[in-house]
């Protein structure tokens, strides 16, 4: 039974920092890319960052580039998101998701087949 459990959300002032964690179980964590996806209150989904299975590649949405850092520890089945210089517009529920990378020939496609329940980050002014 796949489980993804996020933690670390909370209330922080603009300019502050927060670290989110995601504990994974029920699957071979080290075999999968992982991604953080967020959802502002009443809004749609926005990918934030992802990291490759072997920890050697990561990418960020332009909205968080230079402020957020994704990391993983395959020995502990855990994923993290260090968020610095937080802004009011970073307020959202942050989901940890398993990135089901599918490749056909030279083209690869990302989609998300398992999600955690999310953790709320509120950034006040």
Partner 1 sequence: SYGLTQPSSVSLSPGQTATITCSGDAFPKQYGFWYQQKPGQAPLLVIYRDNLRPSGIPERFSGSTSGTTVTLTIRGVQAEDEADYYCQSADSSGASVVFGGGTKLTVL
- Give the binding site for partner 1 (CB under 8 A): 44-47, 95, 100, 102, 107-113, 115-118
Closest CA to 16 of 87, 90, 70, 69: 87
Q: How far is CA 79 from CA 30, 31, 43, 93, 108, in A?
A: 11, 13, 24, 16, 22
Task: List, in sequence order, every residue forming a beta bridge with 94; answer none if it has no partner.
Answer: 38, 119
- Rounded to the nearest whole angstrom, what is the least distance from the CB of residue 113 to partner 1 in the complex? 5
Given the complex with partner 1, which of 14 and 46 has the nearer CB atom? Answer: 46
Given the complex with partner 1, which of 13 and 117 has the nearer CB atom? Answer: 117
- Rounded to the nearest whole angstrom, what is the least distance from the CB of residue 13 to partner 1 in the complex? 26
């Amino acid at each position: 039974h796949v489980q993804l459990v996020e933690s670390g959300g909370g209330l922080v002032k603009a300019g502050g920092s927060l670290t989110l964690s995601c504990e994974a179980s029920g699957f071979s964590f080290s075999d999968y890319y992982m991604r953080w996806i967020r959802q502002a209150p009443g809004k749609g989904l926005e990918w934030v960052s992802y990291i490759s299975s072997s920890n050697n590649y990561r990418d960020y949405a332009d909205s968080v580039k230079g402020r957020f850092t994704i990391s993983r520890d395959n020995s502990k089945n855990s994923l993290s998101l260090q968020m610095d210089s937080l802004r009011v517009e970073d307020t959202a529920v942050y989901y940890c998701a398993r990135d089901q990378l599918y490749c056909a020939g030279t083209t690869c496609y990302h989609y998300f087949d398992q999600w955690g329940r999310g953790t709320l980050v509120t950034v006040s002014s």
